[in-house]
Chain A
Amino acid sequence: MSEKKMVSLTIDGKPVSVPEGTLVIEAARALGIKIPHYCYHRGLGNPGNCRICACEFEGAPKPIQMSCRTIAAEGMKVRTSSPNARRYQASSLEFHLENHPLDCPVCDQSGECKLQDYYMQYGLYGSEVREDKLHKGKRIPIGPHVMLDQERCILCTRCTRFTDNVTKTHELGIFGRGHQERVELAPGRSLDNAYSGNVVDICPVGALTDRDFRFRVRVWYLDETESICPGCARGCSIDVHTNTKRPWHNEGRRVARLKPRENPEVNGFWICDEGRYGYKNLDERRLGRVMRLKPRPEDLSWSSALDEVARGIKEASAAKGTEGLVVVASGMLSNEDWSSFKELFVKTLKIGRFLFGPEPDQIGAEDDFLRRKEKVPNLRGGLDLGFGKEIKSLSWDDLAKSIESGKTWGLYVVERDPAKVWGSERAKALLDKLDFMAFQSPFKGEAGEWARYRLPATAYVEEEGHFTNFEGKVQKYGKALEPLGSARPDWQIFDDLRARFLSEEGSSGRREKAGALA
């Protein structure tokens, strides 16, 4: 890259030098100057059909040029907001709005619509159009996730270019001529590819809206938190949009939608539909209370529950040996969780039998674009700590056999549901044979009903942490929401439990910890 020639140009009086071949609109972006644009998208190219990115190029034979179609050249002088450029931008906008319906109050895009934004910034003209607006198709469901409104469309062709160039499935096209031009499905097709939700994000207006998000919340009620998609091992960057200020919206769910966040190293601008709509269970079937379920259900405080779990493990290990305890973990753990997990179970308790890794219930569809078959985000984080290398995983069949033979007396399950693998009846029969079972998870899960202790953990949106994706890239996700009920992060549960083992073995674990902090 270093041998690439640099060119220097001036934009709005500010000098900038960019690699040869850079578009003027990108050079302006490097300076922090925003030029309005609809059709241009860094992931989809620059057809130059929306005409709103016009700038004035001093000394050019035709001074008004499209900044998304012009490549930066040495000595170029660009003015993005000269009176001439402004007039051109406002006129382009007037053309876009000629047949655009005044749907803003009922349009889901309202609040994040580029037509609204640019009208306030660059338009602000009185309408000269006296003719009636042209009517086209409204609320046409074009796929399982996307709703089309042809009237609102400004024909920027971003969506058709997405289906042509990115997914290469060619579902959408521009049909008709002149004023009758409209976006439509190719005959007999439906927009049902695995990445169809992205056309909603790239649509600069409200022509393509999300059927899932339709009328749920107005976008100005939402809060955004940067996060990582936990849907598969790819670890796409996402924004979690949450609705907490007005809880009566969105059917009481706190997470309203997930949006892709630009990350050229992992997912570019896109995410798959599986990840996008995978947030729905986040507020459903959640564990909120710390409980002892056997012999009869009873609420416990965190400290007494952890005391009892520690005592249970200690007493049973003394009588039957630690080999009888199997720990089931999952790739839902963050790097922080994996590290505390290893400290507790490997270093302190010296347990040798683990079960982790993607089992049939966590394997799904894969393709050569973004989706990976391991449907958990952080197996790699465990692998980097030795889970899968020197520490081998049992299989569910091995575990079932060893429970049947009585070799295994205890199970500590973290964020997994054995009932999903074994089936309800078999799981119940097997788990009833155990002397000890702790179930630590954000979600209820069928097997949680048969555990002795049930410990509520936080879901990934309720705690910040890091996931390592399958390529080994460590990425941070943020805390978007407060934990539900008395849920605690997994690492904190492991650390608190470990302190209980250290302090009694006389190794002054608590003091060691305190000393480490001093």
Chain B
Amino acid sequence: MAMTVREVSRPARSFMEQIFLWEVCVGLMVTFRHFFVNLARHALRALGLKVEPGAVTIQYPEDPAVLGKRARTRHRLLKRADGSPRCTSCLLCETICPAKCIHITPEESPDPRIEKRAKTFDIDIGLCIFCGYCVEACPVDAIHMDANKVELSSYTREDMIWTMPELMDDVPKLPRALRPAPGIGPTVPFVSGSH
């Protein structure tokens, strides 16, 4: 097959386009429209008239972030009345999780009324897509996404993994280097190849 070259003509720029001045004015018009509309709304509301509220700038991170009532934030593991985790380690959240960010290892419970409990329950927040399926899947209401924490960054990938005591707010989430005792960190390594 012979190679062919096709000439594509580019649309020529007009004079007005070349000086950009008109487009700068168009952009400024949008800015000023918002400015005056919000100014009017704030002024009218200050006078007691019921118009739509004007936009408010939040000085995040100096001021706290405002979250919607049903916002899905960091997971929280709930406890029974006696303080033990509600989780029965049925692995339904792990199964439904599309990001495979939940790793649970079950174990036998010493309590004769409880068949099965979680030995470890790790969530890799770095992998989580905050879809909330785990909350939907849980048959015992053990996991919620209502910790109302959105500042979840860390300097290492390991520190993105939250363990069971941390998810229950029993211990503060600290970077690995600052953790008080061994044995709190994730017990089973996350395998990056499996994702």
Contact = CB atoms under 8 A, between A and B. Distances in A.
> Do A and B make up one complex?
yes
Interface in A30-60: none
A247 B115 contact: no
Nearest to B103: A248
B95 A220 contact: yes
B194 to A, nearest CB: 6
B90 interface: yes
Nearest to B189: A248
Contacts of B106: 215
A247 B193 CA distance: 10
Contacts of B194: 245-247
Contact of A106 (B103, B115, B188, B190): B115
A105 B117 CA distance: 11
Given A215-B89, A218-B95, A220-B95, A105 B140 contact: yes
B146 interface: no
A247 B89 CA distance: 17
Nearest to A252: B188
Interface in B103-117: 103, 105-108, 112, 115-116
Nearest to B193: A247
Given A105-B139, A139-B115, A215 B92 contact: no
A249 interface: yes
A221 B112 CA distance: 28
Contacts of B107: 215
B91 interface: yes
A215 B188 contact: no
B73 interface: no
Contacts of B112: 138
Contact of A215 (B103, B108, B191): B108
A299 interface: no
A103 B115 CA distance: 9
B191 A247 contact: yes
B53 to A, nearest CB: 46
Given A105-B139, A106-B90, A215 B116 contact: yes
A249 B105 contact: yes
A247 B105 CA distance: 11
Report the contact-size class of chain B (Cβ under 8 Å from the partner): 20 to 34
A44 B95 CA distance: 35
A325 B53 CA distance: 95
Interface of A is mostly: loop
A299 B169 CA distance: 49
Q: Which of A247, A248, A249 has the most CB of B within 10 A?
A: A248
A246 B100 CA distance: 9
Nearest to A111: B95
A214 B109 CA distance: 12
B148 interface: no
Interface in A200-219: 214-215, 218
A215 B117 CA distance: 10
B38 interface: no
Contacts of B115: 103, 106, 138-139
B92 A105 contact: yes
Contacts of B95: 218, 220-221
B141 to A, nearest CB: 12
Nearest to A138: B115
Q: Which of A104, A245, A247 has the most CB of B within 10 A?
A: A247
Interface of A: 103-106, 138-139, 214-215, 218, 220-221, 245-249
Given A215-B106, A215-B116, A248-B190, 7 more contacts: A105-B139, A105-B140, A106-B89, A106-B90, A214-B108, A246-B94, A248-B105
Closest 6 CB pairs of A and B: A105-B90, A248-B188, A215-B106, A106-B116, A106-B115, A105-B139
24 contacts: A103-B115, A104-B90, A105-B88, A105-B90, A105-B92, A105-B139, A106-B88, A106-B89, A106-B90, A106-B115, A138-B115, A214-B108, A215-B89, A215-B106, A215-B107, A215-B108, A218-B91, A218-B95, A221-B95, A246-B94, A247-B194, A248-B105, A248-B190, A248-B191
